[in-house]
A and B are shown apart, each in its own frame.
Chain A
């Protein structure tokens, strides 16, 4: 993949937003976006974890899986790396930054099952990014996800006072709002294509 890390970062935020074009991380996106504050907390946690797990998984892929010729174990290794990193992070944050633990800590267990984290690692392998590109892609994807969930949370806060058909309340209207957001993001697609 011949694209500068800097460009890739912005492309991951806007042109191929991990949520709005690749649909990753939908579950927690739909369930946590009821409040702006918790959305921000989860978004920051996702971004942080993404940067590190993408880097770790890149190292694991290129220095363990490929040399030992066990790439078919990729999924299991990636999942374990992510779960272990999140667990470790939880312990560290709880021990050294209790204040942060109370605001971000509750979101950490949610992250292990957030498919955006795992998906970014898989994309990184499929698209053959180098180390720097992978970190940029991880950071950009995280920021893009944060942007998407913040926008939805903001819009949902306004929607609370509006009249919405009963069958469409909750998830239905969130999906329609997300669709409109995705439509807006299609406008960025020519700026820096990465696929």
Chain B
């Protein structure tokens, strides 16, 4: 498999969210604003790519029995970096994201990629796979948050797009809409991309 294939697989064909149904918690929770989603996506991509790289680097020296806990600790270390950087540079967004930055540790995408890819393939391939899967995750976040922010607040990235005639559709900013939008997205992708039904 070429590097490009690895990337495309992670981002589209085997997309963690719509194909493997992983990492749903944060996909739903942070998508009420586009900026938050973008930061969350970048943070996850960073932690995912580098933890995949590190896990792959030590894959031949990690005993199978402590594999899981070693992977978790490596992931946690990178997530702490993301958390500290966010707290220092973007305190406002860090506050809004709240526990969801820390929850990257238990995000199934990271463990999933570590198990399915990084523990079998060389470091550079794993890095590319991590970036690909992170890009796929960010893409889903951006798609959902586009509609939620546009209809819920009339803005995009905090900039007013819909004028005074628009009445905010407050349900879009609340939890239920996230479930509906993700379901719709999965339906459309199944139908158009995977040609199911």
Query: Which residue of chain B lies nearest to A24 when distances are taken between CB atoms in the complex?
Result: B25
Supposing A27-B22, A122-B103, A179-B176 touch, asked if A76 and B190 sit within 8 A by C-beta, the answer is no
Q: 10 more A-B contacts (CB under 8 A) besides A72-B84, A76-B73?
A: A20-B175, A21-B175, A26-B28, A30-B21, A75-B105, A79-B105, A118-B106, A122-B102, A122-B103, A172-B187
Distance, CA A76 to CA B186, complexed state (A):
33
Distance, CA A76 to CA B76, complexed state (A):
6
The interface residues of chain A lying within 8 Å CB-to-CB of B180 are: 175-176, 179
A23 with B175: CB separation less than 8 A: yes
CB distance from B149 to the nearest CB of A (A): 17
The interface residues of chain A lying within 8 Å CB-to-CB of B76 are: 75-76, 79
Interface footprint category on A: 35 or more
Supposing A113-B108, A115-B107, A175-B179 touch, asked if A165 and B187 sit within 8 A by C-beta, the answer is yes
Task: Report A53-106 residues with CB < 8 Å from chain B CB.
Answer: 72-76, 79, 83
B80 with A172: CB separation less than 8 A: no
Stretch of A39-47, A134-142, A180-188 on the interface side: A180-188
Query: Which residue of chain A lies nearest to B23 when distances are taken between CB atoms in the complex?
Result: A27
B83 with A23: CB separation less than 8 A: no
Query: Which residue of chain B lies nearest to A83 when distances are taken between CB atoms in the complex?
Result: B69
Confirm or deny: B72 has a beta carbon within 8 angstroms of a beta carbon on chain A: yes
Confirm or deny: A173 has a beta carbon within 8 angstroms of a beta carbon on chain B: yes
Annotate B100-138 by CB proximity to A: 1 below 8 A, 0 otherwise: 001101111001000000000000000000000000000
The interface residues of chain A lying within 8 Å CB-to-CB of B80 are: 72-73, 75-76
Residue of B24, B29, B171 with most partner-chain A CB within 10 A: B24
Distance, CA A117 to CA B197, complexed state (A):
37
Confirm or deny: A1 has a beta carbon within 8 angstroms of a beta carbon on chain B: no
Confirm or deny: A159 has a beta carbon within 8 angstroms of a beta carbon on chain B: no
8 A-B pairs closest in CB distance: A166-B197, A179-B179, A167-B190, A122-B99, A175-B183, A26-B24, A115-B106, A182-B176
Confirm or deny: B191 has a beta carbon within 8 angstroms of a beta carbon on chain A: yes
Distance, CA A180 to CA B177, complexed state (A):
9
The interface residues of chain B lying within 8 Å CB-to-CB of A173 are: 183
Task: Report A110-127 residues with CB < 8 Å from chain B CB.
Answer: 113-115, 117-119, 122-123, 126
Confirm or deny: B58 has a beta carbon within 8 angstroms of a beta carbon on chain A: no
Residue of A122, A126, A167 with most partner-chain B CB within 10 A: A167
Supposing A24-B25, A114-B106, A118-B102 touch, asked if A176 and B183 sit within 8 A by C-beta, the answer is yes
Confirm or deny: B196 has a beta carbon within 8 angstroms of a beta carbon on chain A: yes
CB distance from A160 to the nearest CB of B (A): 17
Distance, CA A180 to CA B183, complexed state (A):
12
CB distance from A12 to the nearest CB of B (A): 14
CB distance from A117 to the nearest CB of B (A): 8
